[in-house]
C-alpha cells in the first residue's frame, strides 16, 4: 500500500470528535478507525497493537536484537478530526504536477487562492491533495497517522536497526481531552514525538499557554415601556464585555509569539447571553495577565449592573512545553539532524496552538511536535502533498536510526 493509498483510506472514515459530549471517546464513530488502525499496525509488524476501552490505540515494535538497551522512543498522532466543519463523505481531489495556480474546489464555490495561501508557490510540481470544498480533508491528523505507519513499515522492511519503538493513536485531540486518558505505562517510552504540525520539516518545542473562557450574562428583561433604570439587556452587556478587551489582540492581527483573545462564538437575547473565548500567550506571565484582564472585566460589570450579572468560567487547556523539553533538548537535536538527513532545514516556529505533546510533556513524556506536510487545517481549504508526507515518513525513519546509534 502506498502512503497516498493509506491516507485516502483513513480520510474516508469519519472521525470528528464532539465538543458537546462528555463520553470517552466523545464520538463512538472514532472506534471504527481505531480498530482499522490496530489491524494496519499488525500488518506492518506491530504484533501487540490493540484498542483499549476508551479508543486509544497502542502498540510496540521490539528493538532490533542487540539494541534493547537504547532509549525507548515513541510516535503519536490523533485519529479524530475537527468538529468545526463537515468531515464526511470526503471527496478527495488529486492534482499531479501542481502548476501553482489558484485551486477551484469542485462545485463548492470555494477557491484556495495564492493571495490567501502564499505558500502555494512552494508546492509547484508536487502531487496536491484537497477536497471538493464540501468537507474537511482530515490531514489533521490522518496525515500524521499515515506517515507513522508508513515509516514503521519501512523500518521493518529495510531492516533498519532501532531501539524499542512505541506507537499510539489518540481520540479527541481536537476537543482538548486526548491526553486525559493517555496511559503512559502502556505506551512505555522515554521520549516521543507527536506528528501533528503543518509544513514538513517543522520540529516544534514551543506552544501557547492556553485556556478557554466563558462569560455568561444574566440580564433583567422587562417591558421596554417600563424599562427606564431597570432593564439589563444581556446581549448589550455581552457586547460591552467584548469591547473591554484590547481590540488588536485577536488572531487576525497577531503572529509569532504574540498572544490573543479569540471570540469563537456567542449567543443571546435580552434575558441571557454567552460569549465563548479561547485565550493564548507564549509567555506564562502575559498569559496570567490575560486571565486577570478577564477577571477584572467580570468585576467591573458586576459593580456596574449588580452582583451575578456576569459569571466568568476559565478552564486551563495546556501550557508551553518548552519548560519540560529544554532540560532534555537532545530530543529536539536528534529530530533536527533527522530532518537535515532528509534534505530539509528544520523549522522552529512556535505553535500558535497546542498538541497532545504539550500535555504529555507535563505528564512526564517530553514530546516535541513534527510537521505533517499539511496546510489550512480545520476547514474546507485543507490540503497536503504526497511529497511532503513522504518526507515526514523519511524523517521518522531517520529519528529511529539516530536514537539507535546512541547508548
Enzyme catalytic residues: 80, 173
- Determine contact, residues 105/399, Cβ cutoff 8 Å: no
CA 174 – CA 293 distance, rounded (Å): 27
Amino acid at each position: 500500500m502506498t502512503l497516498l493509498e493509506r491516507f485516502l483510506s483513513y480520510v474516508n472514515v469519519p472521525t470528528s470528535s464532539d465538543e458537546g459530549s462528555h463520553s470517552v471517546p466523545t464520538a463512538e464513530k472514532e472506534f471504527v478507525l481505531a480498530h482499522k488502525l490496530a489491524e494496519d499496525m499488525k500488518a506492518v509488524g506491530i504484533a501487540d497493537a490493540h484498542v483499549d476501552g476508551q479508543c486509544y490505540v497502542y502498540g510496540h515494535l521490539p528493538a532490533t536484537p542487540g539494541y534493547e538497551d537504547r532509549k525507548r522512543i515513541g510516535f503519536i498522532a490523533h485519529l479524530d478530526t475537527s468538529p468545526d466543519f463537515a468531515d464526511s463523505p470526503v471527496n478527495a481531489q488529486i492534482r499531479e504536477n501542481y502548476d501553482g495556480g489558484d485551486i477551484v474546489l469542485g462545485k463548492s464555490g470555494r477557491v484556495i487562492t495564492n493571495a490567501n495561501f502564499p505558500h502555494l508557490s512552494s508546492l509547484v510540481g508536487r502531487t496536491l491533495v484537497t477536497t471538493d470544498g464540501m468537507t474537511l480533508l482530515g490531514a489533521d491528523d490522518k496525515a500524521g497517522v499515515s506517515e507513522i505507519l508508513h515509516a514503521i513499515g519501512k523500518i521493518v522492511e529495510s531492516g533498519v536497526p532501532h531501539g524499542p519503538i512505541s506507537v499510539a493513536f489518540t481520540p479527541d485531540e481536537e476537543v482538548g481531552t486526548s491526553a486525559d486518558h493517555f496511559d503512559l505505562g502502556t505506551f512505555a517510552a522515554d521520549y516521543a514525538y507527536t506528528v501533528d504540525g503543518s509544513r514538513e520539516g517543522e520540529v516544534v518545542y514551543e506552544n501557547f499557554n492556553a485556556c478557554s473562557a466563558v462569560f455568561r450574562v444574566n440580564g433583567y428583561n422587562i417591558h421596554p415601556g417600563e424599562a427606564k433604570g431597570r432593564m439589563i439587556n444581556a446581549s448589550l452587556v455581552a457586547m460591552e464585555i467584548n469591547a473591554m478587551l484590547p481590540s488588536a489582540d485577536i488572531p487576525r492581527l497577531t503572529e509569532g509569539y504574540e498572544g490573543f483573545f479569540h471570540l469563537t462564538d456567542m449567543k443571546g437575547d435580552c434575558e441571557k447571553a454567552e460569549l465563548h473565548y479561547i485565550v493564548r500567550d507564549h509567555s506564562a506571565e502575559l498569559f496570567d495577565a490575560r486571565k486577570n484582564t478577564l477577571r477584572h472585566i467580570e468585576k467591573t460589570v458586576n459593580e456596574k449592573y449588580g452582583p451575578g450579572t456576569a459569571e466568568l468560567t476559565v478552564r486551563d487547556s495546556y501550557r508551553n512545553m518548552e519548560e519540560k523539553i529544554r532540560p532534555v533538548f537532545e530530543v529536539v537535536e536528534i529530530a533536527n539532524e533527522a530532518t537535515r538527513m532528509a534534505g530539509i532545514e528544520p523549522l522552529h516556529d512556535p505553535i500558535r496552538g497546542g498538541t497532545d505533546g504539550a500535555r504529555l510533556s507535563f505528564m512526564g513524556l517530553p514530546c516535541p511536535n513534527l510537521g505533517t506536510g499539511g496546510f489550512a487545517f480545520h476547514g474546507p481549504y485543507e490540503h497536503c502533498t504526497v511529497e511532503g508526507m513522504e518526507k515526514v515518513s523519511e524523517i521518522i525513519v531517520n529519528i529511529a536510526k539516530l536514537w539507535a546509534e546512541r547508548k
